[in-house]
Amino acid sequence: MLAILTALVLLSTAWCLAGVAAVVRVRRRHGRDSTMPPEPLSVLKPLCGVDNDLEANLRTFFEQDHPDFELVFGVQGEADPALALVRRLRESYPRVRCQIVIHDGGRGINPKVSNLRAALTAVRHDVIVISDSNVTVEPDYLRAMGAELSRPGVGLVTSLFAGTGERTLGASLENLHLNGEIAAGIALPTELLGYPLVVGKSMMFRRSVFERLGGFASVANVLAEDYVIGRMFHSAGKRIALCPAPVRNISATTGVRAFFRRHLRWGMIRLRLNPLAFAAEPLTRPFVIAAIAALVGVGGAWPLLWAVALTLLRDAVQWIVLRGPAGLLRALPLFPLRDALVTAAWIATPFFRHVSWRGNRVLVGEGTRLYAEVPSEEPRLLSVEG
């Protein structure tokens, strides 16, 4: 039993340290200025309600230093409160080309993809950026992403994201997890293992290439649309590049229950995409291994000391690398609660088969294929402003 425990300790240590190395490597890699002028591009922003700091988040996109870009917002229905906010921003930045597509959904069971498909009807340019509403970026974000896309063989560019803005316990747990296990889980396979993972919070690709691969229609009824889009480009022989500058994911008022349910949903995705990898996940978490050692009475105190030291090292280094030291000392003591909740979500995941969006309950099948319980009506475009 001691030999098995030692092997698990070595495995978890190697995984955690390799994840840290991958995150540091991405951040230290200087972005390359393209030798070609920046290409015109369209930024698609699907909106649904008013997230934490939404106006400040969107303002960073209006203030991009890119010479030729447009913003295209997708909003489902005139009643969405995000609509008035975007209209005010458009008036504040008259020199930025901005269009608002107001639609009634129905273009896929996945509501984000449905929103994107509606917004796509108004874009002008081939290079497309997809960005979630809860992220904020630096003024050179579009230039940095475009420079990566110009590299030979690159078909899609994505970003690491730094959790920030916490004002509640749940938000602190969320950001600690995003900056720790999640960041490493994206950087390690993408940067070092040749198995890229794409997160839909920040993606850039060419529409012409994407549509040849199947386009949004091929992921309209898939929960993990960002992962599948990444696999589409990878399978076609296109490289997936990580932009050196992370976007900042604003999580300010998330509750503990919302944190748990979000990771339960993410667990459902991972289970249906790769059951074997999902089953092995706890073995990469130091505290799970320490708990196993305590339950079987092997190792004495050293597994716990090892778990504390390794977890603190990973979380502290990646937090500082991604967002600086601010808030770290308040967040670090929460790691036992975070790991307990994430592990509990992992245990519960196999017992759940449905997710809910805006009151619509859908079944999640193999490969995260979605099945609606209520048929949707034929979609129609309501209006385009701009």
Minimum mean pLDDT among 208-217, 306-315, 361-370: which range? 361-370
Band of the pLDDT at 31, cuts 50, 70, 90? Answer: low
Band of the pLDDT at 375, cuts 50, 70, 90? Answer: low
- Residue 92, pLDDT score: 96
H helices of the chain, where? 2-28, 54-62, 82-92, 111-120, 141-149, 169-177, 183-187, 207-213, 225-235, 256-273, 275-280, 286-296, 302-323, 328-331, 335-348
Q: What does the alpha-carbon distance between residue 51 and residue 130 come to, in Å, rounded to a whole number?
A: 17
Give all domains of the chain, ordered by start, each with its CATH number.
Answer: 1-386 (3.90.550.10)
Q: What does the alpha-carbon distance between residue 199 and residue 171 come to, in Å, rounded to a whole number?
A: 19
What single string gives the DSSP state of each residue in 236-284? TT-EEEEEEEEEEEE-SS--HHHHHHHHHHHHHHHHHH-HHHHHHGGGG
| Residue-wise pLDDT tens digits, 48-89 | 988 888 999 999 999 999 999 999 999 998 999 999 999 999
- Compute the C-alpha angle 71/72/74, nearest 5°: 145
| Residue-wise pLDDT tens digits, 9-27 | 999 999 999 999 999 999 9
